[in-house]
Amino acid sequence: MGYNYRAVQGEASYDANIALGTRLADIMFDLGAGHDSQAPPAPSAEAWAAIPDHDDDENGYLEGLDRLTSPHGDGPPGIPLHKIDGSNDGWLVTEQEIRDALAVIDASPPPALEGRMAEFWTAWVEFMRAASTKGGFRTW
């Protein structure tokens, strides 16, 4: 069990187990690149029913999913952390949320990480840079 973060367009992706996803979210929170957030209330059955079936209309399905998974209400700039650490329900992290997070990361001293965690962090930031121009990314 874990997370697959996949750019909306293109092939960029990043896989993490739950512990790594949580650690990445913690680092982002500590830097100010992400903020505590709660998932909005689950969409109604009617809202889900209004989305075309994936097998019948993949683009329509993804557009409908965007409407249900991108909103997060008011909050500070950066990534609402429920979108990357909490569930793998296809949350859409928008290009703007990623750009805001990267601006904070780029302006901050690098986090004090060692060994594999430093490698994981570097790969995560590279993935976010790629996804920031590819429609954002989804958490599956």
Summarised one tens digit per residue, pLDDT across range 81-138 is 999 998 888 889 999 999 999 999 999 999 999 999 999 999 999 999 999 999 999 9
Q: Taking a C-beta distance cutoff of 8 angstroms, is the pair 36, 29 a contact?
A: yes
Show Cβ contacts of residue 32 under 8 Å, excluding neighbours closer than 6 positions: 78, 104, 108
- What is the spatial distance between Cα 117 and Cα 19, in angstroms, rounded to a whole number? 11
Phi-psi region at 10: left, alpha or beta (left = phi > 0; alpha = psi -120 to 50): left
Predicted confidence band of residue 68 (pLDDT cuts 50, 70, 90) = confident
Predicted confidence band of residue 48 (pLDDT cuts 50, 70, 90) = confident
Q: Domain total for the chain?
A: 1
Residue linked to tokens 């650690």: 23
The answer on pLDDT for 3 being more than 70 is: yes
Give the pTM.
0.87
Where in the sequence is the domain holding 27, given as residue range(s)?
2-139
Give the DSSP letter string of 67-83. HHHS---S--SSEEGGG
